[in-house]
Amino acid sequence: MASCRHCGQGLIPGKEIGGQYCCAGCQAAHDLVEGLGLDQYYQRRSLDPAQRPLVPEEDDAARVDFTQHAKPGQKGDQVLYLMVEGLHCAACVWLIENVLARQPGVTHARLNMTTRRLELRWIDGAADPNLLVHSVTQLGYRLVPYDPARIGDAVSAHEKELLKCMAVAGFAAGNVMLFSVSIWAGQADYMGWATRTFLHWLSALIALPAVVYSGRPFFKSAYEALSAKRTNMDVPISLGVLLATGMSLWETVRAGEHAYFDAAISLLFFLLIGRYLDSRARGRARSAASHLIALGARSVTVLLADGARKLLPPQQVATGSIVLVAPGERIGIDGKVSEGVSDLDASLISGETLPIQAKPGTPVFAGMLNLSAALRLEVTAAGEATLLAEIVRLMENAEQGRARYAAIADRVARWYAPVVHTAALGTFLFWTLILGTAWQPALMIAVSVLIITCPCALALAVPVVQVVASGRLMRQGILMKSATALERLAQVDHILFDKTGTLTLGRPELLPGDWTAADLALAASLAVSSRHPLARALARRCPEAAPMREVTELAGLGLEGDGVRLGRRAWCQVSDELDGGEGPELWLARTGRQPVRFAFEDSPRLDSKETVNALTKMKYSLELLSGDRAFAVESLANRLGVAKWRALCLPADKVARLEELKQAGHKPLMVGDGLNDAPALSAAFVSMSPSTAVDVSQTAADVIFQGDRLMSVAETLRVAKKSNMLVKQNFGLALAYNLVTVPLAMAGHVTPLIAAIAMSSSSVVVIVNALRLGRR
């Protein structure tokens, strides 16, 4: 059977569009990819552009001027954060992003399925935000200014509605079942048709209103999907419930014996139980990004010029304002301490559990918790410009990754609608035409097939694992920058470490030597322009040094400015005859002057040896690549137990080694300084970097870990391997469920009631299996 070019759904002969699409909506959506305009898209969805109002009056957007909610971006553009209501699947995300990306002036449109947050960026003055919002509302979605509290309220309201529907369905099911027991018992005692029909009518009086009320969550979702000319899992559920109820009513009117009101209302009852448990389980696995956003949404106390205090949302606080933070209060902005001394819990930002001391001049970030005393902070960033907001964007990107397994799940789920409806129809025809069964029992068997065949477990197999894994790593100060990093980390078989700042603390201290205060001041004036650990050590030793102008830094070599060089021995053209000793060093070279050597001592991280032992036990092949001299590299390698090492490696040498490993079929992980080892990090199959969250946007690595613990590398690899295992287990559970239950349902061994229980249980089992990853 031919399939739709856009959604992959099977084409129904005589109803296809142009022989290639299942509906006009798919044809129009496909045209968007081919570059056609939105007017043609709306026309193919039977929406006359002349009759479309600017914004639907019933929509909240009609009462909102989105221009007031747009804010200047960091790149000179405008940015608007919105919450999208009405999302059902990844196809909704794809459609909204594509529609917005094709609007003039739009530079970025990214929608997160978990948080429902839409980040929209456009060139300042090149687009009207109200018209951009209008282009999406006309697709049937609702857009409102983003409010993290609104998501929690919506979820809470949804769960309360499910509980109400469940209570009504449960009450009705219990009472209808009493009448059904009487009918079953009466059949053995030759109950008359009049009595049976009377009991059927009593059952109908209870069941019909209950079905209408309790079935609303399914009926509404199915109606919205069909109105948009697509299907979802609630379509066959609604069809099954309505078929069972309609057939029972028909039999009751005809005084027939095949009335199954008990099955219809009990089916709804157990479906609602499953839907509620599924919602609660999803809540436990809910996006770490959602929790972070909620933390950043707290109001802050601003100290006004006249001494008064005012509570403001973080996004409305101006840079340079003074904010008061009480003991026990979580900080809502980025800034620096202007007055007061206290201890801060920075575990949300850095993953470190030990408090840090804050005093005047100490930088603080949104999400930190003030522990002991009141502080006054000078605001440096607020709202979406904070470090917490940057971490949220990374988390959203990691949770929404389109990894290989996610693509497989999407392709399988795409075939769900045509396959399940065809299977149910085939089952009904087989039982009636071939086996000669009465149409009423055959219809109930077909309803069982409709209910039990559900792609929900398969669709959840990957996303729920990604969400739980990202949350677990984030709580330990490990941030995923790449959406596919976890999948690639699970395939790693060879690990390469940089030395300085990776296996070592990266905070070397300058040792006494044959240099003068003037030499130190000159070297420090160059060093303050670099983020290399040795350069930072020099700058710390001479904090009063003024930065030299027009300094150039060459990766892996050193710094140069005003005819002075500071860097590697060979680059500074230091003769080999000049003995420099062992260990980390920088040379200061000037024309006509004797080169000066600055020696440093850099201690290994406290858990370096423990991490190396752990990775060796995990059967990884380890290697040390460093630009340092052979003695220092060999000494550290022997101390930690790394058998393979290479010294005097330039960035190009590290890239060449990585390419060599990849050519040999290995999947190398590079762990190095995210700023200095950028070429090697980019060339690796996957990369990690010890860094701080402040440097996250500048780091080239796929994953960054904060703090002094190198064991984060082993922990990330463990989580990646377990995530990969859980994804496979979830796929296996979902496939096994369908392979076992669907044939049983088609054979007539599963009632609609059992089908409802099995279908709901499959989703809950997949989610609970993924939640095991959250336990350390």
Q: What are the catalytic residues? A: 498
> Of all helices (H) and strands (E), which one includes residue 28?
helix 24-34
Tokens read off for 549: 């102008």
The neighbouring-strand residues paired with 668 are: 494
- Region of 568 please: left (phi>0), alpha (psi -120 to 50) or beta: beta
Instruction: Dump the DSSP string for 466-493.
Output: HHHHHHHHHTTTEEE-STTHHHHHTT--
- Per DSSP, 433 falls in state I
Q: How far is CA 83 from the centre of its chain?
A: 16
What single string gives the DSSP state of each residue in 215-249?
THHHHHHHHHHHHTT---THHHHHHHHHHHHHHHH
Handedness of CA 121, 126, 131, 135 (dihedral sign): negative
3-state helix, strand and coil shares in percent for the chain, rounded to the nearest 5 = 50, 15, 35
**What separation in angstroms does the CA of 565 have from each of 514, 531, 555, 601?**
18, 16, 13, 21
235 neighbors 417 (Cβ within 8 angstroms)? yes
Nearest to 438 by CA among 268, 247, 266, 263: 247
Give me the residue label for tokens 């739980």.
468
Question: DSSP secondary-structure letter at 517?
Answer: H
What are the tokens at 267? 């089916």
Candidates 390, 387, 276; CA nearest to 334 is 387
- Contact by Cβ (8 Å): 582, 589: no
Provide the phi-psi class of 674: left if phi over 0, else alpha when psi is between -120 and 50, else beta.
alpha
H-helix or E-strand spanning residue 621: strand 621-625
What is the SS3 assignment for 587?
Answer: strand
Instruction: Return the half-sphere exposure (C-beta side, CA atoms, 13 A cut-off) of residue 663.
Output: 6
